[in-house]
Structure 1
Amino acid sequence: MSDTNAPRPQGFDTLAVHAGASPDPVTGAINPPIYQTTAYQFKDADHAARLFGLEEVGYIYSRLTNPTVAALVSRVAALEGAAGGIGCSSGHAAQIMALFPLMSPGKNVVASTRLYGGTITQFSQTIKRFGWSAKFVDTDDLGAVARAVDKNTRAIFAETIANPGGYITDIPALAKIAARKGVPLIIDNTTATPYLCKPMELGATIVVHSATKYLTGNGSVTGGIVLDSGKFDWSASDKFPSLSQPEPAYHGLTFHPALGAMAYTFHSIAIGLRDLGMTMNPQGAHYTLMGIETLGLRMERHVANAKKVAEWLEADPRIDFVTWAGLKSSPSNKRAKKIVPKGAGALFTFALKDGYDACVGMIKNLQLFRHVANLGDTRSLVIHPASTTHRQLSDEQKIKAGAAPNVVRVSIGIEDAEDIIADLDQALTAATGKTR
């Protein structure tokens, strides 16, 4: 029998406006305050001891927790269906923080070959300094993914909509492999946002975001979010001692048995943020909170514009191919209908038949587009990945990542689609000497 008194689940746009915050009880202010403070007054010595001993939830120091950041994390957790999470200083920080409770020297993460160039560099180079490593695998080859997971693997990592090419990841298929192998699936949901996809509903354990992108939506701050589903059994094996074994820094507290679904979140705060300090600032969190209020409206427009632009580009004789997964010609089209049924996002690439020099010339002549190393703004943005975001990669890695020399990445904004198309048309004409 159903519980007739159970609260009706709220819709996405309602949660985007209200989740994680309520009017200030003292002033009545309806926007969450910016708690610009480093520390918080304890009630007494016993109160302080309980907070430091993780016996009571509260605020100690803003490197660990801050009410403005907590409101933001609660809002994104509500949108993603997560048990809890943390705010970080950037999307890159969020990736390290996501791995931190899971990894130790000698352990590895199995990662998709289709990732943002900076992530590939972080995983292939920087994490070696921690004694970690990454195995890069084409996630379309599920057998290869399964074979890559060995006794030292501690996670599988992929992006919902891969940057730069707009490739759609088969999250349920990867989730089945991760579950069979006893490791969590980490999904970067930055380019899809929870409006287009909720990876945890498809089997992901952990979701990361660069809040710098669509969540904020206007290119004003950097930030990252790490979210945990609360459903993974960290004690099912000896693979995750940080969560399943006593922690010396907390008098032998064992996070998972003691904290259950919140074990990963509390470890990320009490150990990760405490010692790595990759903390989100409250003013940045406030900007992102305000941005999320219009996330659903913006993503509708982003997707609608992306469809118009991608279809126009595909029909242009100066263009070799377009990777937007919403196109019927895309190899990812069928998968997109399953993974991102509301639309294939607004980030994709297209290749110019006239090659590298034409790409450079087109970007030089664009007027409405902004040439920047970012995505997810209200503005339309453009970049040439091979010479910028993916510059550090080998030629083979660039091609695997969808960043060949004749490829341009666009992040389609919410301007009038006709104006976006007109700008592309005149820039292509100037770069190639050919009209449509």
Structure 2
Amino acid sequence: MFYDYAKINLKAGDGGNGVVAFRREKYVPFGGPAGGDGGAGGSIILVADEGLRTLVDFRYKRHYKGERGQHGQGSSKHGRGGQDSFLRVPAGTVVKDAETHEIIADLVKHGQEVVIVKGGKGGRGNARFISSTHRAPTLAENGDLGEERWIELELKLLADVGLVGFPNVGKSTIISRVSAAKPKIADYHFTTITPNLGMVDIDSESSFVMADIPGLIEGAAEGTGLGHRFLRHIERTKVIVHVLDVSGSEDRDPLEDFHTINHELKKYNEYLAQRPMIIAANKTDLLQGKDNLEVLQKELKDYEIFPVCAATGEGLKPLVYRLAQLLVELKDQEPVIPKEEKGLRMVKIDKKPKFYIEKVDNIFVVTGPEIDKHWARTDINNEDAVARFLQIVEAMGVIKALREQGAEDGDEIRIKEMIFDFLD
């Protein structure tokens, strides 16, 4: 099955916890702290694979979880880090944040990798907290939580040539004639509902990939008839072949069809108007085919027009050889890709305040990302660890901010699960 869209959840591995331990060897009566650090959690990495053509693997499994880092041990033994998880996606996959729809990465080359969610750092063991005044610390950190996010995967086929046109104009027949692709062919609209790829062999040293894009209709740029899903597969093609039914067999004007489809392409992506385009005038063997062909040749002088009969294969060889020649000329030319999708980049996350203070029912409630991070690292059953957490909170400027917010002696303050009286 061909799938070109998937929405999945990725959760990186949590970091392992540090441990509180002391040396207890013979002849070492006053052994110092020897608690090891926890291992880092495994990240989840997407890898582009040119051997894949569909996102079907993500159709039935939507949640992926990284491996957790091991906890630290005594004798200063650190926990093993979690293994990174590698998820393979087809080359040409655009990765977006599911909430903001911002582009995280554009994987266009085989082997290209991007870390989507990073594993949490391992917590420090008590051996890390030795100081000149604190020779036997009894606290350790919990590991950080691994990152988690929902992402969208959108596949844009990587093909050299894309066939476009209205439904039932002969695109599938053409690709079945010039390649080994075997698309479903029938005499009704929307027989093709997913793009088909075919390898066109010219000789032992020359070949190119052709994509049969499902039929477009007026309004496709706004999403009519699944237009967006079909149009995105044209974005990376180097050459567009516009297939027209010149026979007028469905009471349509081929010249009007040409302008309608081109208008939809430009509305969807202005860069598509810059692609080289060749016209395949199909069904020239039927009534009115030759008359309409003459009109096209007169009105569309800026385009190369190849009369063909897809049903019999007549005229397809000159078309294929011209496409091969054109691709050689464009060999060193990079496809025009919008700046926001060019290359590989990570979404820039805006920096948020370290904490927020809100007064709820006469209680000052302190929350925020930095508060959450340090609380997650704290073993709340360890008095020394909780005392250190409060020291960090004070160093962050929370006490000063509470004073500025109007907190007075005796006011209740809530930070996570702790409630205490404010004392200035």
Q: TM-score range by the shorter chain?
A: under 0.3
Task: Compare the two structures and name the one with the higher strand fraction.
Answer: 2
Task: Compare the two structures and name the one with the higher helix fraction.
Answer: 1
With structure 1 as the length reference, what TM-score do the two structures score?
Answer: 0.23
Higher relative contact order (CA 8 A, sep 6+): 1
With structure 2 as the length reference, what TM-score do the two structures score?
Answer: 0.23
